[in-house]
Chains A and B, each alone.
Chain A
Amino acid sequence: MSARAWVAILSLLLPFALSACGEKAQVTVYKQGKYQGKPDGRPWDNERFKGDKVAWENAIKDRNQRQSEYSRE
């Protein structure tokens, strides 16, 4: 078989031989504190509280205390 025929055969087989090289790793690597999904905003970063964390915490504290009928006025 001539050298040109070998080259032709190898060039035809090359795409098949390298087909797996373009694949990305599909194994999920879990990192503490991170996840693969979309990031979520904080509950005080919205139109109502406008980034005021203290106001949000006070609202939650107020609601928390309202669950105790002993401390209601």
Chain B
Amino acid sequence: MARMKFLCDAERCIECNGCVTACKQEHEVPWGVNRRRVVTLNDGEPGERSISVACMHCSDAPCMAVCPVDCFYKTSEGVVLHDKDLCIGCGYCFYACPFGAPQFPQDGAFGMRGKMDKCTFCAGGPEPDNSEAEFRKYGRNRLAEGKLPACAEMCSTKALLGGDADVIANIYRDRVLKRGKGSEIWGWGTAYGKPEAPAQQPQPQPGGKS
């Protein structure tokens, strides 16, 4: 089995937040913890784009690299998970993650920073599959039921794809070929913008200081 990944098609996402709701409902995620959220660029302007973001289950995950207690592990399917019994809630992973995926419960009188919580790709954690302990700490283990993440399966427009990276990449490629656009939303130009013309140097004024 290849690596499990998410892929969000910004041409299809309608910012309905169905994925967020599905995740909340499936895992009974507490108030204040958002394993998944929808980010909209240029909100309210023509041409706005939305994308659903959660843990991307990085191949070389920075959270794993910085964790001082080494509580992260990667499953054979490429899902990045962690052991909450070992987590000390230091927040290093939050600073290291480029997607803001690690979440910390902030309830209680003093805004405590509890143990980290994040998207598990609906794969539970290091507890017996579909046990009460696993659900309480990590949420439901849909992968062990032969199912894909709830967010992707609930997506009404199928903008959010989840599963085997090769398969979902092929699904996306087919879409782009059939609708004839969309391939340009991935890559350098989207992330960093188009290369701009070099800034013009100010012309020296005659008689002025050079």
Q: Which residues of A contact B (CB under 8 A)?
A: 28, 30, 35-46, 48-49, 55-57, 59-61, 63-65, 67-70
A-B contact pairs, 26 of them (CB 8 A): A28-B68, A28-B70, A30-B70, A35-B70, A35-B73, A36-B69, A36-B70, A36-B71, A37-B71, A37-B82, A37-B85, A38-B126, A38-B127, A40-B126, A42-B75, A42-B76, A56-B146, A59-B146, A59-B147, A60-B1, A60-B146, A61-B167, A63-B163, A64-B168, A67-B162, A70-B175
Residues of chain A with a CB closer than 8 A to B161's CB = 67
Residues of chain A with a CB closer than 8 A to B162's CB = 67
Q: Which residues of B contact A (CB under 8 A)?
A: 1, 68-73, 75-77, 81-83, 85-86, 123-130, 141, 143-148, 152-153, 158, 161-164, 167-168, 171, 174-175, 178
Residues of chain B with a CB closer than 8 A to A57's CB = 1
- Quick one: which of A37, A45, A49, A70 contacts B174, CB cutoff 8 A? A70
In the complex, A41→B1 CA distance in Å?
15
Evaluate contact between A60 and B158: CB separation under 8 angstroms.
Answer: no
